[in-house]
Amino acid sequence: MTQTPKTVTQTSESPVSGTSRRALIGWGGAGLALGAAAAGAGVAMTRGSDDVQTVAADAGGAVEFHGGHQAGISTPVQDRLHFAAFDLETDDRAEFAQMLKDWTAAARRMTAGLAVGEGAYGGLGEAPPDDTGEALGLKPSRLTLTIGFGPGLFEKLGMAERRPEALVDLPQFSGDNLDKNRSGGDVCVQACSDDPQVAVHAVRNLARIGFGKVSVRWSQLGFGKTSSTTPEEQTPRNLLGFKDGTRNIAGTETDRLKKFVWVDGADTDDKSAWMEGGSYLVARRIRMHIEPWDRTSLQEQEDIFGRDKGEGAPVGKAKERDEPFLKAMKPDAHVRLAHPDSNHGATLLRRGYSFTDGTDGLGRLEAGLFFLAYMRDVRKGFIPVQRNLATDALNEYIQHVGSAVFAIPPGVRDKDDWWGRALFSKEA
Amino acid sequence: MRAVRLSVVTAAATAAALAAVTGCAEKGSSGSGDQVINVTATDDKCEVSKKEFPAGHVELAIENKGSKVTEVYVLFPDDRIVTERENIGPGTKQKVTAEMKAGEYTIACKPGMKGDGIRQAVKATGGKAAKRDPRLDAAVASYRKYVQEQADATLPLAETFAKAVKAGGLEAAKKAYAPSRIGWERTEPVAESFGDIDPKVDVRADGLEAGQKFTGWHRLEKSLWADKKITAEDKTVADQLIADLAEWHERVGEAEITPTSMANGAKELLDEVATGKVTGEEERYSHTDLVDFKANVEGAEQSYELLKPVTKENDAALVTELDKQFAALNTLLDKYRTDKNSYDFTSYDKVGDTDRKQLSDAVNALAEPLSKLAAAVVK
């Protein structure tokens, strides 16, 4: 991890790839929508409020860390995920802020393909190396690191007055069977990369820097995002075998990002001014009952989704990207219930990954979807959509077993900035 | 315990070879420039022909004119061994050589091969002075004393335990088990440096190598708690445990201890906690893991406290952090005993997953900064 980051920065506002603009009308299905922001490797994405567009030169290249928004949200989705939720171990605000500065410095290096601190070798023989070393020689692999703050953080640090109204505790939803050891968290880190070792290395090193200040509460590895998510290429399939994320918000869709994803001045008050440029994240660990699903007839599977299995076309349509006619679908079809038209327009940017954590001790796959969705306001995004999915036919085959919600602060603007500065600096 | 570990603290025999070139048959390399110091040992005297000599290759010509078998040591100011010669019979002569850098040393004769010996301060002069921080020498000397005290205190406690086993007293043996291990656990990295003792006294069933006999504390732990009976073989194991610990007690003073090895030893004690105690693996039958846990932390804290004055000068922030994290972990451990002066801790099978994670988090919070102690000491 020592080579020069292969990042090209452009100021052009013209889309680098016009094709990703085809997915203009998306649906924000929360139940099972796999990540698949519809922009792939090599496609431009918008970072920051200054419309600077960053192009990852290739799948091994670096994604710019700095920007008005954090990377890892509208960034083309990478192949792999390591997501970690942390509990706060300190109630000292200054100590936590220092950790965020240390995390920022480490993240700045790791996303550029560089080792943490003074590296993994060559230092003082008596001291453990700053970097753990397993990413040496690996490319930056489009690593993005995105952090968020959970509801509990504000009270624990004595700053309840700065908890945004939009960061609500999620209500209990129909069918939830949440494991507290896979839920919640005061801080989160989403590490996405095309190389799982690069993602794991990043979380491991941040956890190490965090010892004493934060401790890992739970974490999740994810896979299942193939590198081709440009609309003309195949949309990835979830573990139920269906194409997922066909109508997601694309990284190039500045208007929809602004409308549904980024928090702006209109959303904030004195409490939440620090969130401008940020977003909200809902994470749900959704276990799939794989074996019963596999014994389900093709017709029923297609009825449940509201799309056909081969092409992914909506009921009664010929092509995957044809506009869905919701009334042609069964009333409890997943796509119908999750569609923005069924939810007063609510739309989520989905960025989830499949997971398989081996088997469950009963000989069944311990597998499912690790759902990640970004939105401008949880109350207008995930909550109404998930409520609407109470009657989803798919619920017979899935179960939500983990849940967490985080406020995602704005991006780190430059080399002097740090994660959460606006929240933790008095002058900010 | 670990089956084999020689990395940090090495036994005196190895250390002497590293610290100084020793040996009595190095004529080829010792030219006419050699300093020869005559050491005349008697039952109550230790006379040296020169108290000051140029640094470099030094030869001690030892003659035992007393009536007892003696041994002669060249020691650094912290009692670390530069070189030594044992078993010098009455009326015999021995030679021993050493590469001695400029600095102060002690030559000690030990008639009867016991005690601190009769001591003579000597000085090697000129050349490049070995840079030594007297505070670190004092720290090492204090730690060496601590290690010996722990061994001294452990032996009678282990004997009480062994006696109970041999008397067939199941409950008495159970009661004596955990206390007999405290001194060992406090100084485990030093004990482990004698690669042959640890596998005999502190091995666990899963740590046995092919053909290795299961002996020591944990073998008896299994009998007392899992099998709930004391067999004739257990009584032999109890005898063997005492014999092995007696050997440890005798050799522990010879362990090579340096400021770095003290710091790394502190970190290793936390590693022991992280891998064996927090998981409940160490005391899987007796569930007395928290006793070992506390002893490991105490041993680590002892090293740290001794190194603190130098550390504070080199890295004040590290000292602040370590003070805080040691206090936090100790406070947490106190939740598991009603009397802060006793080692009567909650049985670890009664400590739930959430509490174990809390302990694990506190160990990580301490061990991470503790891993930086060695570098801060040598800075």
The number of residues in chain B equals 379
DSSP state letter for B101: -
pLDDT of A232 reads 52
Q: Which residues of A touch B361 (CB under 8 A)?
A: 87, 89, 215
pLDDT of A54 reads 41
Q: Structure tokens of B328? A: 């936090």
For the stretch A344-374, pLDDT in tens is 999 999 999 999 999 999 999 999 999 999 9
For the CA atoms of chain B, what is the radius of gyration? 23
Q: Are B289 and B283 in contact (CB under 8 A)?
A: yes
Residue A171 pLDDT > 50, yes or no? yes
Q: Which residues of A touch B357 (CB under 8 A)?
A: 215
Three state DSSP letters for chain A: CCCCCCEEEECCCCCCCHHHHHCCCCCCCCCCCCCCCCCCCCCCEEECCCCEEEEECCCCCCCCCCCCCCCCCCCCCCCEEEEEEEEECCCCHHHHHHHHHHHHHHHHHHHCCCCCCCCCCCCCCCCCCCCCCCCCCCCCCCCEEEEEECHHHHHHCCCHHHCCCCCCCCCCCCCCCCCHHHCCCCEEEEEEECCHHHHHHHHHHHHHHHCCCEEEEEEEEEECCCCCCCCCCCCCECCCCCECCCCCCCCCCHHHHHHHCCCCCCCCCCCCHHHCCCEEEEEEEEEECHHHHHCCCHHHHHHHHCECCCCCCECCCCCCCCCCCHHHCCCCCHHHHHCHHHCCCCCCEECCEEEEEEECCCCCEEEEEEEEEEECCCCCCHHHHHHHHHHCHHHHCEEEEEEEEEEECCCCCCCCCCCCHHHHCCCC
Task: State the pLDDT confidence band at A235, using cuts at 50, 70 and 90.
Answer: confident
Residue A265 pLDDT > 70, yes or no? yes
β-pair partners for A237: A243
Residues A326-351: b if buried by 16+ CB within 10 A, e if exposed: beebeebbbbbbbbbebbeebbbbbb
Size of interface A-B (CB pairs under 8 A): 34
pLDDT of A250 reads 85
Most confident segment among A10-19, B76-85, B264-273: B264-273
ipTM, two decimals, is 0.80
pLDDT of B126 reads 81
- Taking residues A413-425, report their average pLDDT: 96
Q: Structure tokens of B216? A: 């020591």
Residue A13 pLDDT > 90, yes or no? no
Q: Structure tokens of A280? A: 């909200």
Euclidean distance between CA atoms A186 and B313, whole angstroms? 36
For the stretch B102-111, pLDDT in tens is 888 999 999 9
DSSP reduced 3-state for B42: coil
Euclidean distance between CA atoms B95 and B104, whole angstroms? 21
- Find the chain A residues whose C-beta atoms sit closer than 8 A to any C-beta of B: 87, 89, 124, 126-128, 208, 211-212, 215
Euclidean distance between CA atoms A269 and A152, whole angstroms? 20
pLDDT of B20 reads 38
State chain B's mean pLDDT as an integer.
88
More confident residue, B130 or A108: A108
Q: Return phi, psi of residue B111, to 5°.
A: -60, 135
CA distance A347 to chain B (A): 37
Euclidean distance between CA atoms A34 and A32, whole angstroms? 6
Kindly determine whether residue B372 and residue A127, on different chains, have CB atoms separated by under 8 Å.
yes
More confident residue, A47 or B343: B343
β-pair partners for A192: A81, A144
pLDDT of B113 reads 81
Task: State the pLDDT confidence band at B160, using cuts at 50, 70 and 90.
Answer: very high
For the stretch B217-266, pLDDT in tens is 999 999 999 999 999 999 999 999 999 999 999 999 888 888 988 999 99
| Mode of pairing for the β-strands spanning A365-375 and A349-350 | antiparallel
Is B372 in the A-facing interface, judged by CB distances under 8 Å? Answer: yes
pLDDT of A1 reads 44
Task: State the pLDDT confidence band at B193, using cuts at 50, 70 and 90.
Answer: confident
Euclidean distance between CA atoms B294 and B277, whole angstroms? 10
Residue A97 pLDDT > 70, yes or no? yes
| Minimum Cα–Cα distance from B378: chain A residue | A126
DSSP reduced 3-state for B61: strand
For the stretch B30-79, pLDDT in tens is 344 567 899 999 999 999 999 998 887 788 899 999 999 999 988 888 77
Residue A306 pLDDT > 50, yes or no? yes
Q: Identify which of B246, B250, B252, B216 has the alpha carbon closest to the alpha carbon of residue B234.
A: B216
pLDDT of A59 reads 65
Based on the number of CB atoms within 10 Å of its own CB, is A127 exposed (0-12), middle (13-18) or buried (19 or more)?
A: middle
The sign one gets for the Cα dihedral A257, A262, A266, A267 is positive
Kindly determine whether residue B368 and residue A124, on different chains, have CB atoms separated by under 8 Å.
no
Based on the number of CB atoms within 10 Å of its own CB, is B94 exposed (0-12), middle (13-18) or buried (19 or more)?
A: buried
Residue B130 pLDDT > 80, yes or no? no
State chain A's mean pLDDT as an integer.
86
Q: Structure tokens of A352? A: 């989830």
| Minimum Cα–Cα distance from B328: chain A residue | A212
pLDDT of B129 reads 53
pLDDT of B103 reads 86
Residues contacting residue B316 through CB under 8 Å, at least 6 positions apart: none
For the stretch A175-229, pLDDT in tens is 999 999 999 999 999 999 999 999 999 999 999 999 999 999 999 999 986 433 4
CA distance B359 to chain A (A): 11
Closest Cβ–Cβ partner in A126, A212, A215 for B375: A126
More confident residue, A407 or A230: A407
- The single residue listed with the structure tokens 């193939």 is A226
DSSP reduced 3-state for B202: coil
Kindly determine whether residue A126 and residue B374, on different chains, have CB atoms separated by under 8 Å.
yes
Residue A9 pLDDT > 60, yes or no? no
For the stretch B284-317, pLDDT in tens is 999 999 999 999 999 999 999 999 999 999 999 9
- Taking residues B98-120, report their average pLDDT: 86
Is B355 in the A-facing interface, judged by CB distances under 8 Å? Answer: no
Residues contacting residue B221 through CB under 8 Å, at least 6 positions apart: B177, B283, B285, B286
pLDDT of B18 reads 38
CB count within 10 Å of CB B36 equals: 14
Kindly determine whether residue B365 and residue A211, on different chains, have CB atoms separated by under 8 Å.
yes
Q: Identify which of A64, A274, A62, A38 has the alpha carbon closest to the alpha carbon of residue A148.
A: A274
Kindly determine whether residue B361 and residue A128, on different chains, have CB atoms separated by under 8 Å.
no
Q: Identify which of B209, B220, B215 has the alpha carbon closest to the alpha carbon of residue B197.
A: B215
Q: Which residues of B touch A208 (CB under 8 A)?
A: 368
Q: Are B377 and B265 in contact (CB under 8 A)?
A: no
Task: State the pLDDT confidence band at A18, using cuts at 50, 70 and 90.
Answer: very low
Q: Are A405 and A281 in contact (CB under 8 A)?
A: yes
pLDDT of A60 reads 84
For the stretch B5-33, pLDDT in tens is 333 444 443 333 333 333 333 333 334 45
* Window 233-272 of B, Cβ < 8 Å to A: 260, 263-264
pLDDT of A52 reads 35
